[in-house]
Structure 1
Amino acid sequence: MLCNAQCYFIPIEGSPDNLLKECKDLGGVTYAMNSKWKNDRCEECSCNPTGIHCCNIVAIPVGFSKMKCKKLFNEKTCTYTVVEKKNPKKTCPVQQWVM
């Protein structure tokens, strides 16, 4: 497996006959060649003849008042919301996001 901060690559394994049919992820799940999907770790992945390529799709808030606010992660939507600590129904402004 090769990786950088936000993406990684899993080389295809198997016999030459299988190289153009499917890819297998680290959990053993197989995917059709040239397919794309979002996994449960908030990554977009694709299967191509060389293997599986996955990248994080979560934008992380970094430019907000950490004294006044906190970030909340929604696993279903793979998104963060930044809310006031004293009043979690009120959102906080965010000046910067990183991937």
Structure 2
Amino acid sequence: MGITVTLGDAYCFSKINKPGETDKGCVLDGKLYPYGEIARTENCFRCSCSKEEISCCSLFHTPIGYDKESCRVIFNKKICDYEVVQKSDPTKECTIYSRVG
């Protein structure tokens, strides 16, 4: 049986809105999001948008503890998470021992 330990919270950031940029919401990665809570952006962040700023935290944690010789990391945007698969057979998953936010 394995144990997965998260070594930190999700990756978070804030971006101050430029005056006059928009009066309908916040722009992130070229896309306009409405004021209020955003459950999931196109790039897998949960955000809060106000007239002053947009604050976001990732919905994923990056794997750091896995067999780096035999496995590789792939980001899956559909599920907003990283998959660690065998280099020799990408249909087989590898064990992840730890992740960071």
Q: Does TM-score exceed 0.5, indicating one fold? A: yes
Identity of aligned residues (%): 30
Q: 1:29 to 1:95 in 2, by over 3 A?
A: same
Q: What is aligned with 1:9?
A: 14
Kept after mapping to 1: 8 A contact 2:59/2:80: yes
For structure 1, list consecutive stretches of 5 or more residues without a partner in the other structure.
none
Kept after mapping to 1: 8 A contact 2:33/2:49: no
**What secondary structure sits across from 1:89 in the alignment?**
coil
Question: For 1:76, which of 75, 78, 81 is the aligned residue?
Answer: 78
Q: What is aligned with 2:88?
A: 86
Largest Rg, 1 or 2: 1
Runs of 4+ aligned structure 1 residues displaced above 4 Å come to: 12-15
The size of the alignment, in residue pairs, is: 89
Which amino acid in the other structure matches residue 58 of structure 2?
N
Deviation readout 1:3-28 (Å, 9 max, x if unpaired) = xx93222234557xx6xxx5322436
Which amino acid in the other structure matches residue 32 of structure 2?
V
- What's the Cα RMSD here? 2.4
Please give the alpha-carbon distance, in whole angstroms, between the structure 1 residues aligned to 2:18 and 2:86: 48
Whether 2:25 is the aligned partner of 1:31: answer: no
Higher relative contact order (CA 8 A, sep 6+): 2
**What secondary structure sits across from 1:94 in the alignment?**
coil
For structure 2, list consecutive stretches of 5 or more residues without a partner in the other structure.
1-9
